[in-house]
Amino acid sequence: MKPFFPLGQILFPVLLSDGRNSRTEEVTFMVLPAHSRHDILLGRESQGDFSMICSAPHSAVGFPTETCIALIYASKEVLATDEARPAKASKPAPRTEAEKWVLNSACPEQTVILGPAMSDLTRAALKKLLHENMDVFAWTPADMVGVPRHIAEHRLNVSEKAKPVPGDGEKAKW
């Protein structure tokens, strides 16, 4: 497996809720290439921000809210602390291929690739988020109207001490 590296970081407010009790914290996410197998990973720092307790045998996390302790189960059902955990529901067959999704139907060439490991719930939420914010995408340099040059400007990072190398049939002119 070829290693991949984060493309950057992005800060988002994350709301965790058990249906009745919720809590929001700002979380910094690493942006990974589309071929990553992860939807979202909450690292130890984010779990600490939520004062989260994770239980692998119960497939659950618990965290304090202003009113009580909220529990969230991995089975996607949302429960309060005083309810019994339901039996696991059967899961649909996982996707095996990435989905090429047209973000803006007015411009069908503007597509986004959604990885196959993403859950249907996450996929729907991501599509909604992207569609609501499609005006922030720059597909061509012409789309970047009003971006100051000190923020986005192309330049070659070449040492000023470097001397040109003559090509075939040319003589050095220095």
**Kind plus residue range of the DSSP H or E element containing 132:** helix 120-132
Same domain, 42 and 112: no
- Structural domains counted in the chain: 2
Same domain, 101 and 71: no
What are the per-10-residue average pLDDT scores of the chain (174 residues)?
70 85 84 61 78 83 87 59 51 77 85 84 87 79 71 75 74 56
Q: What is the pLDDT of residue 41?
A: 62
- What is the per-residue DSSP string for 31-75? E--TT-S-S----HHHHHHTT-EEETTTTEEEEE-SSSEEEEETT
Give the separation between CA 138 and CA 125, rounded to whole angstroms: 21
Rg of the chain taking only CA atoms, in angstroms: 24
Nearest to 76 by CA among 22, 42, 120: 120
Give me 86's structure tokens: 């339901």
Same domain, 77 and 115: no
Give the domain range for residue 58.
Answer: 1-83
Same domain, 3 and 42: yes
